[in-house]
Amino acid sequence: MIHVIVVKEARRRGRDGMVGLDRSFVFYLGESLGEMRTPCCSTARWLLERSLASRDDLIAMVRDRDASDQQSNVCDHPYVCMTGIVGWFADHTFIENEKVGPVWGRWKSFPARGVGGKTAAGAAAGTRAAPDCPGPSEPETPEAASG
């Protein structure tokens, strides 16, 4: 199966007046997944986490030539800019810093719990973990709370 994600640049002006292009708005089946630095990799992990894709499925990243409406999930002028296997993208990330880059590197997940840190489950969606909140494998039930 092929999973198509629509990516639009998240343009922002920094304090120095420069436009930042390090993040993108990502849409999948019309749903906004939020802003991501590595859209293909983060979306691949998001798809696998929700069992919407298998590791052997394909993912195609489509950019819109006209990024004037950044928040819209409609892609009026699309072009495919990156394709690959979901499992490969889920296992990798794009590294670029003062020491190395730009290169593909192995993705290392965030710790499952951390006070105020990002969780592996919420990293793709850009959410932060609340301290001592139940994770996806620990559903809070009324029986457990009273027991």
Assigned domain for 26 exists: yes
Assigned domain for 137 exists: no
Assigned domain for 107 exists: yes
Cut 0.75: pTM above it: no
38, pLDDT greater than 80: yes
Assigned domain for 42 exists: yes
Assigned domain for 129 exists: no
Domain count across the chain: 1
Assigned domain for 141 exists: no
Which range among 48-52, 107-111, 133-137 shows the weakest confidence by mean pLDDT?
Answer: 133-137
Assigned domain for 128 exists: no
Average pLDDT, the chain: 73
Sheet of 2-9, strand order: 31-36, 24-28, 2-9, 58-64, 78-85
Assigned domain for 90 exists: yes
State the alpha helices, DSSP H only, in 19-124.
39-49, 86-91, 120-123
Domain that holds residue 18: 2-123
Confidence of residue 83 (pLDDT cuts 50, 70, 90): very high
